[in-house]
Amino acid sequence: MRPIPRPPARRTLTLLLLALAVAPAAARPAYPPSRVEVVSDTLHGVVVDDPYRWLEDQAAPETRAWIDAQNSFRESLMADVPGLPAMTARFAQLLKVDAMGTPFERGGRYFFTRRRADQDLNVLCMRRGLKGQDEVLFDPHPLSPDHSTSALFMDVSIDGRLAAIGQRDGGADEVRVIFRDLDTGQDLPDRMPLLRYYGFVIAPDRGGAWYSRYTPEGPRVYFHKLGTDPAQDPLVFGEGYDPQKFVDVSLSEEGRWLLFTVYVGSAGERSELWVKDLVAGGPVVPVVKDLDGFFTGAVAGDQLFVRTTWKAPRGRILRVDLRDPAPERWQEVVPEGLGVIEDFALAGGRLCVNVLESVTSRVRVYGADGKPRGEIAFPTPGTVGSLSGRWASSEAFFTFESFVTPRAIYRYDVAAGKRAEFWRPSVPFASGDYETRQVWYPSKDGTRVPMFIVQKKGLALDGARPVYLTGYGGFTVNLTPSYNARAALWVENGGVFAQPNLRGGSELGEEWHRAGMLGHKQNVFDDFIAAAQWLVANRYTNPGLIAIEGGSNGGLLVGAALTERPGMCRAVLCRYPLLDMLRYDKFLLGKLWVPEYGTAEDSAQFQYLRAWSPYQNVKQGTAYPAVLFVTGDADTRVAPLHARKMTALLQAATSSDRPVLLYYDTKAGHSSGSAVSKTVVENAIQMQFLFWQLGLPPPGSGTGAVRKAAATPPNPIDSPVGPVKH
C-alpha cells in the first residue's frame, strides 16, 4: 500500500464555514452549533478537506458536549411529535415475549438461553436430558442496575461439566470470561480479561482453554491453563498474522482435533484451515493454505468435512482425511449445484446442508459418501438458521422463520428423517393477514436483482403506500426472509416492507458477492436505488412515502443512497454506519475490512472510494431528506465518529427543512445483548421518526399508514425504471 504523501496540514477557517447554511434560517431547524476546523490531507495529489476531524476524538470534552447538545436537540424537536406512546406499547407487545435460544448438547446435558416475557436479558440455562427441568446456570440481571450487562456461553466442555461464560457491557464486542463448575455451581478463581475473543474452546480434560483474541498486530491464539495468570498464557498459533486476518478455533466432539480457521480479511473470499492433533501431539499443521476460495470445516472422527467456494462459487463440500490431508487426496462429497450452499452441520453420521434457492432455505441430507438421504421440508419459504448437531448423535436442531412467522426451534431426528417443533414463541401478530412476494427487477446495468415484498393481503397498489426499504449488500451477508418487529409494525399499519438482495451479499453465490465489492461497490448502491425506482414505477409508492434504513455496512448503503440520490426518499434511518471511507481503516476493526472495500492508501482504490464515500460527497445547498443517525459509545466495531461527523456536515449543508438528527446512546453498541426494555424504546423512537417524516398517522389510530399520492411527488427519482411484470 502506498503511504499518504504528507501529514495532514491543519488550518482554522475564520468564518467557520457558516456560509454552508445557505437556506433561510426560518426554513431550517436551528441546529446546535458544530465548530468547523478544516484539516486538509493530500492523498495521491488530491487535497481532501475534513471540516469536522475534531469530532473523531470521542473522549474530548468538546465532543462530549456536542453529543449532549445533539441528543437534547433531537429530544426537544421530537417532544411534541405524536405516536411515541403507541409505538412503545406496540413494540413492547411484539418484543416482550418469551424467548429461547437453540439448544446444544454436551455430555447428555442441553444448554440454551431463555428469557421470560417479564425479563430484560437472556438467562443461561441447562437441562439434564432433553426433557429435564430448566435449571438457571447464570442470570445476568443482577450485574447492572440498568440491565446493560448481558451474558453468553463462550463454550461448554465436552462432558458438560464446565462452562466458560462471557459478560458483555452494553453492545461492545469485548467480553470478560469466567469459568463455572456445573456440578457444584461454583465459579473458579480464574478471570479472563476484557478482550475481543474470536474463538474460545475448553480443553477435553477441563484443565484450560484455547482462545483467539484480537491484538493491534493481528489475531493470536493462546492457551490458558486454569489456575495461572492469563497475562502469562503462551502463544499457540497466529504469529505473523496481520490485522486484516482473524482466527476462529474449535474442537472436534471427541476432543482429538483442534481446528483453526483463518479468515483472510472479512470479505469472505479466502480462508485457511490448520489442525493440531491433541492425542499425538506435535505442531499445528496446514490443511488449506494459499488457495483462492473460502473454506470452513467440521470434524467427524478423523475426517474433516469442508464447505468451500474453491472452484465452485456457489459452494461444494469436500472430505479430507486428517491423517493424510494432502489436497490431491481430497474427495468431493456434495458437488456444486444450482443453489448456494450457505451452511452445513454434522449429525447422526450425516450431513445436513442448508441450501439457498431463490434466496430461501432448503435443507438436504447426505450420507458421508455424498448419497442423498432426504430433505427437511418447510411449509412456506423462509430461513433456516442455527443448524447444529453432533456426528455421534441422531439429533439436530435448527430454527425456521419467515417475514411473517416468528423464529421457532425444531428438532430433527436424523435416523427417522422427521422434524418436530421443539419450541415456538407466542407473538401477538396476525401472520395470516400478510403475504410475501419475490420480484426480480433490473438494476442500472441491466442485472436482474431479487427483492422480497411484504404487505397486507389484498393491498391496493395506488402509488400511495408507505415503503420501508432496507438492504445490506456486502461481506457475503445474506438477507433471507426473517421476522422482525419493525417490519411487523410497518405492514400492520398499511405499509409495504421491501428487502432487495443486493450484490455484495452471496445470496446468488460468490460471483454475486464479488460484483459488489472493491471497485464494483457502486453496483450495490445502484441496485438499491433501482429497487426504489421499481417500487415507484410499479405503483407501490412515491418518493415522498419511501423510508430507507440500513445498519453497519447497510448504514454505508443508505448513506451513499442519500448523497447520490437525495430525492429517492423522504426519510433515512442510518444506524451504526461507515461513512468516511477515506479514513475508516484507521479506526477499530477497519483494517479487517480493507479486502472488501479497499483503502485510500492505494491510489487506484482511493479513486473509487472518493467517488462514493458519503462523507466526501455531501454537497452544499442540496435539499437532503430527513435523516436520523443512530450510534453509541459502546460500538467498538464501527467507530461512532462516522455518525458524529456526518451529522455535523449534513446539518450544515442541507437546504431542506427536513431535520438531520442524531440518536447517540452512551451504552449502545454493535453487538447483541441489549435489555429488551431498551430495545423497545430504541425501536419506538426510530419508528416514530419515520412515521413523523412520512406524515403517517400514529399506530392504533385506526386510519392505517396511508397518504394520498401527491400530484407531483417531491424530489422525484432520477431516471425511473419502467414497470416489470412479476
- Read off the amino acid at residue 489: L
Q: Are the beta carbons of 117 and 98 closer than 8 angstroms?
A: yes
pLDDT digits (tens, 9 = 90+) for 649-661: 999 999 999 999 9
Q: What burial class does residue 187 get, using C-beta atoms within 10 Å of its C-beta: 0-12 exposed, 13-18 middle, 19+ buried?
A: middle
* Whole-number pLDDT of residue 671: 56
Is the pLDDT at 556 greater than 90? The verdict is yes
Task: Please state the φ and ψ torsions of residue 622, each to the nearest 5 degrees.
Answer: -85, 140
Q: What is the mean pLDDT of the chain?
A: 91
- DSSP annotation string for 16-67: TTGGG--S-GGGS--PPP---B-EEEEETTEEEEETBGGGG-TTSHHHHHHH
Reported as a pLDDT band with limits 50, 70 and 90, residue 670 is: low
Is the pLDDT at 724 greater than 60? The verdict is no
- What angle separates helix 641-653 from helix 553-564, to the nearest 10 degrees? 10
From residue 148, give the alpha-carbon distance in Å to each of 73, 171, 227, 664, 686: 25, 8, 30, 16, 20
C-alpha cell, 528: 438499491
Residues 610, 564: Cα–Cα separation, whole Å: 13
* Whole-number pLDDT of residue 407: 97
Find, among 560, 547, 543, 463, the residue nearest to 502 by Cα: 560
* Whole-number pLDDT of residue 152: 96
Is the pLDDT at 709 greater than 90? The verdict is no
C-alpha cell, 241: 498474522
C-alpha cell, 716: 422525484
Is the pLDDT at 717 greater than 70? The verdict is no
pLDDT digits (tens, 9 = 90+) for 359-390: 999 999 999 999 999 999 887 889 999 999 99
Q: What single-letter DSSP state applies at residue 491?
A: H
Count Cα atoms within 13 angstroms, Cβ side, for 108. 3
Say if strands 331-334 and 187-195 run parallel, antiparallel, or are unpaired: unpaired
Looking at the chain, the whole-number percentage of residues with pLDDT higher than 90 is 87
C-alpha cell, 451: 427483492
Supply the residues annotated as catalytic: 552, 670
* Whole-number pLDDT of residue 669: 58
Residues 539, 709: Cα–Cα separation, whole Å: 10
Q: What single-letter DSSP state applies at residue 505?
A: B
Q: Are the beta carbons of 186 and 283 closer than 8 angstroms?
A: no
C-alpha cell, 127: 437441562
Is the pLDDT at 409 greater than 60? The verdict is yes
Q: Is 374 left (phi over 0), alpha (psi -120 to 50) or beta?
A: left
Residues 662, 312: Cα–Cα separation, whole Å: 44
Residues 326, 661: Cα–Cα separation, whole Å: 57
Residues 154, 201: Cα–Cα separation, whole Å: 8
Q: What single-letter DSSP state applies at residue 414?
A: T
Is the pLDDT at 702 greater than 80? The verdict is no
Q: Is 486 helix (H, G, I), strand (E, B) or coil?
A: helix
Residues 6+ apart with CB under 8 A from 59: none
Neighbours of 283 (CB within 10 A): 8
Alpha carbon 182 to its chain's center: 32
Helix extents (H) in 515-602: 522-537, 553-564, 594-597
Neighbours of 323 (CB within 10 A): 9
* Whole-number pLDDT of residue 718: 32
pLDDT digits (tens, 9 = 90+) for 220-247: 999 999 999 999 999 999 999 998 898 9
From residue 6, give the alpha-carbon distance in Å to each of 2, 41, 296, 464, 601: 12, 8, 42, 53, 12
Average pLDDT over residues 120-124: 97
Reported as a pLDDT band with limits 50, 70 and 90, residue 15 is: very low
* Whole-number pLDDT of residue 98: 97
Could you tell me what percentage of the chain is helix, strand and coil, using 3-state DSSP and rounding each to the nearest 5?
A: 20, 35, 45
- Beta bridge partners, 332, equal 318
Residues 6+ apart with CB under 8 A from 478: 342, 356, 359, 501, 505, 506, 507
Q: What single-letter DSSP state applies at residue 562?
A: H
* Whole-number pLDDT of residue 666: 78
Is the pLDDT at 507 greater than 80? The verdict is yes
pLDDT digits (tens, 9 = 90+) for 35-54: 999 999 999 999 999 999 99
Q: What single-letter DSSP state applies at residue 359?
A: T
Q: What burial class does residue 325 get, using C-beta atoms within 10 Å of its C-beta: 0-12 exposed, 13-18 middle, 19+ buried?
A: middle
pLDDT digits (tens, 9 = 90+) for 454-492: 999 999 999 999 999 999 999 999 999 999 999 999 999
- What angle separates helix 485-492 from helix 676-694, to the nearest 10 degrees? 40
Task: Please state the φ and ψ torsions of residue 550, each to the nearest 5 degrees.
Answer: -165, 150
Q: Is 317 helix (H, G, I), strand (E, B) or coil?
A: strand
From residue 577, give the alpha-carbon distance in Å to each of 557, 615, 631, 640: 9, 11, 8, 8
Reported as a pLDDT band with limits 50, 70 and 90, residue 710 is: very low
